[in-house]
Amino acid sequence: MRDYSKAVPKMWHGKTMKALRKHPEGLIVALYLMTSPSSNMLGLFAQPILYMAYETGLGEEGARKGLQHCIEAGYCSYDEESEFVWVHEMAGYQISKELKASDLRCKGIQKDYDSLPDNPFLGAFFERYAAAFHLTNPRGIEGASQGPCKPHRSQEQEQEQEQELNKGPNGPVGGADGEGDPAEPTVPVGDPAEPAEAGDDAGDGKIPPCPVDTIVDLYHEQLPELPRVRLLNDKRKRALRRVWRWVLTSKKSDGTPRATTPEEACGWLREYFHRATKNDFLMGRAHRSAEHAGWQCDLDFLLTDRGMAHVIEKTKGGAA
């Protein structure tokens, strides 16, 4: 999480903010993305709509509506599958419009850019800021020119009508569980761009094959009140392998390994899911407004950085 972010007063007179004034939800989401706990200086970060909805108080419908207004105003692009958002001009405002090649911040920006997980906006970001920040290592350039952002399912009809009225395309190209800032994860579960497969190197040894079905069974066993997993798609399998790898390669706060064998890793995960039952937020027992009443986490959320942080760091007696 960043210690601070800049909000330039003159932004209120800009074309984008003027357009968003007509839509209160859009204005709130725009300001939220600028200061989100998940954000980074690049303006390119994972931002689950769930957290946007909770932390702005807009609820999921309001957050989606506000986000769509931001997309249409050209403020940002958002990808539903990866849950990544790109606030197009954020790096210019938060860092500088441009830097000299000798400025040490250029190396820091390149390092932060290199550390980002794969997402649809890497190529577009490079093309936008390569000259300004003297970036030298492009990623995803082939995907930089894509079609318009996909509208949220709840707003497809509304957007289609608006397109007819406006006679033009939506905002810039779009392509956001690991949650949390990918460049500064609270719980380092590995690079989502490089999911751990059976036999991947991990320090001094090999990673045992991930028992995907067994982990799902542990989730169902310990958390029967949460949504059941009915489809094991590739995205979920990647997330499961990523967490499996982290459990087998990371250490507790006392410096000892969390697990060194598949049996120990499964035991750690069983305890992890059990600890989640003690977290009121995750289990839907504590919400700040009626809009969020009834929300509960699911397996997908528990496999993200932010989900793991809730269990490990924010649950009394959480797994170490």
CA proximity to 55, closest of 67, 37, 77: 37
Amino acid at 299: L
- Looking at the fold, whether 253 and 114 belong to one and the same domain comes out as no
Provide the token pair at 72.
Answer: 């249409």
- Looking at the fold, whether 218 and 136 belong to one and the same domain comes out as no
- Looking at the fold, whether 140 and 208 belong to one and the same domain comes out as no
Domains in the chain, number: 2
- pLDDT at position 137, please? 87
Q: Look at residue 158 and tell me if it is in a domain.
A: yes
Q: Look at residue 191 and tell me if it is in a domain.
A: no
Amino acid at 311: V
- Among 147, 166, 185, give the residue marking a domain's end: 166
Q: Look at residue 318 and tell me if it is in a domain.
A: no
- Looking at the fold, whether 154 and 220 belong to one and the same domain comes out as no
Q: Look at residue 26 and tell me if it is in a domain.
A: yes
Per the structure, the complete domain to which residue 293 belongs is given by 201-312
Q: Look at residue 252 and tell me if it is in a domain.
A: yes
- pLDDT at position 288, please? 52
CA atoms of 281 and 296, how far apart (whole Å): 8
pLDDT in tens, the chain (320 residues): 556 677 777 777 788 888 888 899 999 999 999 999 989 999 999 999 999 999 999 999 999 999 999 999 999 999 998 999 999 999 998 898 999 999 999 999 999 999 999 999 999 999 999 999 999 989 876 543 333 344 443 344 434 433 433 333 333 333 333 333 333 333 444 333 333 343 333 334 578 999 999 999 999 999 999 999 988 888 899 999 999 999 999 988 888 999 999 999 999 999 999 999 998 888 887 655 555 556 789 999 999 988 898 898 877 765 56
Provide the token pair at 37.
Answer: 């706990």
Provide the token pair at 5.
Answer: 């972010």
- Looking at the fold, whether 146 and 94 belong to one and the same domain comes out as yes
The two counts, helices (H) then strands (E), for the chain are 13, 5
* pTM > 0.85: no
Q: Look at residue 108 and tell me if it is in a domain.
A: yes
List C-alpha distances in Å: 85 to 40, 107, 114, 185: 11, 23, 17, 16
- Among 113, 140, 166, give the residue marking a domain's end: 166
How many residues does the structure list for the chain? 320
CA atoms of 247 and 251, how far apart (whole Å): 8
Q: Look at residue 260 and tell me if it is in a domain.
A: yes
